[in-house]
Structure 1
């Protein structure tokens, strides 16, 4: 009796189907990217350079403890008041002579910062500080710089600093991008973002 041949499954199109599925998943899948804090690290230095000497009045100390309590200049403060306090410090303009600030609109308190170019915000936190609180504090401090930059950009160029940065990134921008870059640098020079982060406390 002749043996019957077992029927074969036609797998010729399996490679095509697998390839089509692969393309489908590549096209439809969204890849999540972690958002972080935009910070520019200082360039590496070949030789040790001593840190610049800072007057204590030009340093604005912001601390976060392990209970997420905010201390500004050793005084308890609510997060909602931090931006205004930072603006008041940065825009004080209490310097005289070379340190004088002719564009500052602050109270010119001699016991506070001399000039925005000299002012440094020092952020210190505890290792047990909540990450969300830490980011919220960072946002408020950066927002203080942005507020002041917007004000100066509006005064000098008739548009906000945020608008200028958007125009620089816009591929359809018809103006002179080199001139726009220079204008942005001028505003950044008037209010440089000097945000110092100390080693977290244990």
Structure 2
């Protein structure tokens, strides 16, 4: 009895199909990239322009020494307490007249910051500070700003500030992005992120 030859599968177009699939996945796949810490270098200083005068009470000094100890206003503090201390400083609202803050919910201590728009957090590090501690302190300070921005965003727009930023970066966001940009800008003006980093000490 004669043996039947097995039919051959034509694989000539398989390479074309694999190539088309590869192109399809390369075009449609989105790769998330880490944005890192959002910091900008200060603009060039104009010699004729005088730097703004800051009141001592509007500066919140945070220092990390070479032993990774955290000092806030020259007093030792645990990292877990830093966010609450920064929120209390930023949201104090102790100003009078033009410096008054009508949306602040702080203690209104006249010895602390006048207004979130005037408040500056000054971060000083030692060159021997560990990178992990430096990032942890940065995270707590940025989280303090985000906490206040989330609160005011919920009051004004019934949505957190973090969600608003996510929506702005979402390519499929169905709403009006220009309106969303204006809302985000308004919140950033109410609680501007004024985080100053001094030259590290040796």
In structure 1, the gaps of 5 or more residues are: 1-22
- Change beyond 3 A, Cα 1:72–1:46: closer
| 1:36 shift after superposition | 3.5
The answer to whether structure 1 residue 155 and structure 2 residue 155 are counterparts is yes
Shift of 1:38: 1.6
Give 1:4's aligned residue. none
**Under a length normalisation based on structure 2, what TM-score does the superposition of the two structures give?**
0.81
Displacement of 1:37: 1.8
Name the Cα RMSD after superposition: 2.1
Deviation at 1:45, TM superposition (A): 4.5
Q: 2:79 aligned with 1:76, yes or no?
A: no
Q: Which residue of 1 aligns with 2:102?
A: 102
1:1-202 paired onto structure 2 within 5 Å: 36-45=36-45, 47-202=47-202
Count, aligned residues: 175
Aligned partner of residue 42 in structure 1, secondary structure: coil
- How far apart, CA to CA, are the structure 1 residues paired with 2:132 and 2:57? 29
The TM-score normalised by the length of structure 1 is 0.81
Shift in Å at residue 127 of structure 1?
A: 0.6
1:9 corresponds in structure 2 to: none
SS at match of 1:124: strand
